[in-house]
Amino acid sequence: DVQMTQSPSNLAASPGESVSINCKASKSISKYLAWYQQKPGKANKLLIYSGSTLQSGTPSRFSGSGSGTDFTLTIRNLEPEDFGLYYCQQHNEYPFTFGSGTKLEIK
Amino acid sequence: QIQLVQSGPELKKPGESVKISCKASGYTFTDYAMHWVKQAPGKGLKWMGWINTYTGKPTYADDFKGRFVFSLEASASTANLQISNLKNEDTATYFCARSGVYYGLFEYWGQGVMVTVSS
């Protein structure tokens, strides 16, 4: 199975700042990496797939980069609604696996 | 709009069974695969497997072979997850999630069903 190592586990930032979350795969997954947002009381939301393709409706302040084994989610100019949990997931091969999550909190 | 609406929370005893439903609306049910994802309390997401909504063929991740069954009521645009012989470690929130442009992508999610197994 492809192991996904996500860092950091926790992140604190203020509205208006920029943050980056990293995800490392245990072997090459080409470009096939997705990012999801999880917030209490809301359905999980697909933000980015195939490394850098924004899902319809994802604000342009979100961006994804990387290929092979190393990927990054960057959120610029943080908005209050961006705080929550973020997960990466490889969608290259069975079984589909997730990172352990990053909790983005308001500083 | 596309929605996946799951059934309500469940409280079960060890050894019992539970069936969770996921009703889809807003798209043609048989056009997209349906996945199931487990989240234990305070833990991350774990993919359980998926079901081909056109053929009804399920595929299970290794950790979910044996006691877990994916099924369909295609006429009702509903996917089901049944867990038998429940164990304490089955206590979790279970999500259904519809595939996207890639079948391993989870484009739309249900709200999740909390299953608590306790004697």
Mutation for B interface: A4, A7, A32, A44, most B CBs within 10 A: A44
| Contact assignment for B101 to A49 by CB distance below 8 Å | yes
Q: How far apart are CA B58 and CA A87, in angstroms?
A: 25
- Judge whether A72 and A66 are in contact, CB under 8 Å: yes
pLDDT in tens, B84-95: 999 999 999 999
Select from A45, A92, A96 the Cβ nearest to the Cβ of B47.
Answer: A96
- Judge whether B37 and B46 are in contact, CB under 8 Å: yes
| Contact assignment for B100 to A99 by CB distance below 8 Å | no
| Helix/strand/coil for A81 | helix
Residue B103 pLDDT level (bands cut at 50, 70, 90): confident
**Does residue A97 register a pLDDT over 90?**
yes
| Residue A47: closest CA among A68, A30, A28, A23 | A23
Residues 6+ apart with CB under 8 A from A57: none
pLDDT of residue A107: 84
- At A65, which helix (H) or strand (E)? strand A62-67
A101 CA to chain B: closest CA distance, Å?
A: 6
Quick one: chain A helix, strand, coil %, rounded to 5?
A: 5, 50, 45
What whole-number percentage of chain A has pLDDT above 90? 97
Select from B45, B46, B109 the Cβ nearest to the Cβ of A43.
Answer: B109
Three-state SS for B38-90 is: EECCCCCEEEEEEECCCCCCEEECHHHCCCEEEEEEHHHCEEEEEECCCCHHH
- Mean pLDDT over residues A7-34, rounded? 97
pLDDT in tens, A44-80: 999 999 999 999 999 999 999 999 999 999 999 999 9
Residue B102 pLDDT level (bands cut at 50, 70, 90): confident
Measured at the CA of B33, the angle between CA A42 and CA B89, to 5 degrees, comes to 60
pLDDT in tens, B28-68: 999 999 999 999 999 999 999 999 999 999 999 999 999 99
Query: If you compute the radius of gyration of chain B from its CA atoms, what whole number of angstroms results?
Result: 13
